[in-house]
Amino acid sequence: MKHEYYMLKAIEQAKIAYENGDVPVGAVVVYEEKIIGIGYNQREISNSVDSHAEIVAMNDAAKHLNTWNLEGCTLYVTLEPCPMCAGAIMQSHLDTVVFGAYEPKSGSYGSVFDLNDIKGFNHYPNVVKGVLEMENKELIQIFFKERREEEIAVKRVNSDLWEQYLAVRTKVFVEEQNVSIEEEIDEYDSLERDDVRHVVAMYKGKAVGASRYIMDGDSVKVGRVAVLKEFRGKSVGSKMMRYIERQAENTGYKYLKLGAQLQAIPFYEKSGYKSYGPVFDDAGIDHKMMKKEIKKR
């Protein structure tokens, strides 16, 4: 029960990191059954390499004791310490480390390696593993699930996304640029065609970007690249272009081509496209052809 009590206190700290947008890891240092140090992960909010919860809590405890030597103290942390923190724990002479969830990518007390198994150091803490493991693991999982949902996800359009995909194109080209709906939606706009792929950028379940590409000989022709106004400047268009380029490369095409509106040429040039040929009219808007060679990685 004692371990669980103090681990719950560490979880309270982890939730502060969660609210700040940092990976939710929290820690407390206990001495003579009193909490003398608290800390939560602050790496993102402080732009600090070493602001992990363990180190913040240990520094707090050291100030309380007026010494770096934390002999007689126990550290409770919600996630298995990384090598940096495990090294700091060893240097601080902490008696005991109690952690919650295992960290399969950087855990230093059994998951990736066990620092206590390496001979030659002058101090080794006792380690208690897996206290309130599921509670701590769930907090981490929820955090990363929410983060993934907040990221722009680019994917191929299916029937479930078709209406949202067309709505983005209609908003940008028809409503903003006054292209007629008959010109915007053409014979290539069908999920049944084998020579066309439609691409959508999603944010929290909502379509915010759209594009398509037509496969023709050794080339892929990109077109109808549209991003909702409120999402411009957030790399949505760049992510769609990278997605299309990967698909073209993976299926053996040599070139990417597109007809760019003149004001969009600098955007495509940043992605490696080069313009060629004369200016031409498409739906009442001046365009110029651009091309990029696909280089195998």
Which positions are annotated as active-site residues?
A: 54
Instruction: Name the one residue in this structure whose structure tokens are 């770096």.
Output: 68
What is the C-alpha separation between 24 and 12, in angstroms, rounded?
Answer: 10
Q: Which residues of 152-177 are buried (b: 16+ CB within 10 A; e: fewer)?
A: bebeebeeebbebbbebbbbbbbeee
43: exposed, middle or buried (Cβ count in 10 Å: 0-12, 13-18, 19+): middle
Tokens of 192: 């049944």
Q: How many CA atoms does the CB half-sphere of 155 hold within 13 Å? A: 15
What is the C-alpha separation between 13 and 35, in angstroms, rounded?
Answer: 12
β-bridge partners, 226: 210
Tokens of 105: 């990518």
In the chain, what is the greatest distance between 2 CA atoms, to the nearest angstrom? 80
Distance in angstroms between the alpha carbons of the first and the last residue of the chain: 55
